[in-house]
Copies of this chain bind each other. A is one copy, B any other.
């Protein structure tokens, strides 16, 4: 039994009002894998990098009990590189550079040792690649969570709709939910998206928290109000990784466990934005995570 994360492992160069970085390690699978590793110790990664990717970064994954047998290293090629600049409000950003490099023809090969996958996190990648991973698993995982973004809605909507049908949980942000459904009201948007296939929909609202929709049930999770958001990069991936990592830990898929999983995912995401890149979420203790989760409890509990 294991948890499989697919997504990018890559380089980012980030500029925020607080500073800028040179190339640092990022990517959806990096953030999601690290986040999941705080709750579950059989995390496997499928991703692709070039031979410019530092061996010590791979060792870092392994130090977090993340299995990298499925991390393809392409000799003579370069890792995916993204560069972006955040605006003052930290809610919008401009993409400065996107160099696909190894990602251009990524073929997600699943090592045989990963075939015991029960929990599958499809990090943001082309819906084609996401779908290929589902098809290459001999047994359908107990829980498939899929993250995606507006980019794929723009250029690969048919593939996206086909892949969405195959998953249990879809995570997108509020603007993406509106784009995908054509509805402004998030309740109406959620109803339309749930009719597309997934049994659960998580709408991420950044500093406003997240909403979980399932049948007629809605759960509203708060975001932790922070004095400083240093770098939002990877917060959504960290959220998703924490979410599925917690689900794998508890082992039973139901609405109540998902509510808690959203709180644990949100707690990790709240750490993520406090430093550049993975700096903060690489070095957390279980006590720090538990204390942050208690802050969420304090923040949103009332007794009526």
Chain A contact residues, CB within 8 Å of chain B: 88-89, 184-188, 190-191, 205, 207-209, 211, 217-223, 225-229, 256, 259-260, 263, 293, 296-304
> Which of B184, B186, B223, B226 is close to A225, meaning CB atoms less than 8 Å apart?
B186
Known: A218-B299, A219-B299. A228 touches B304 (CB 8 A): no
> Which of B188, B220, B301 is close to A209, meaning CB atoms less than 8 Å apart?
B220
Q: A185-B229, A188-B227 are in contact. List 6 more A-B contacts (CB 8 A).
A: A185-B228, A187-B227, A209-B209, A219-B299, A220-B225, A220-B299
Q: Chain A's interface: helix, strand, loop or mixed, by majority?
A: mixed
A256 surroundings in chain B (CB, below 8 A): 302-303
A293 to chain B minimum Cβ distance, whole angstroms, is 6
A228 surroundings in chain B (CB, below 8 A): 185
Asked if B187 and A303 make an inter-chain contact with CB atoms under 8 angstroms apart, the answer reads no
A184 surroundings in chain B (CB, below 8 A): 88-89
Known: A205-B208, A208-B205, A209-B220. A226 touches B185 (CB 8 A): yes
For the complex of A and B, 9 pairs with smallest distance between CB atoms: A220-B222, A208-B208, A259-B302, A187-B227, A187-B225, A220-B299, A220-B300, A188-B227, A260-B304
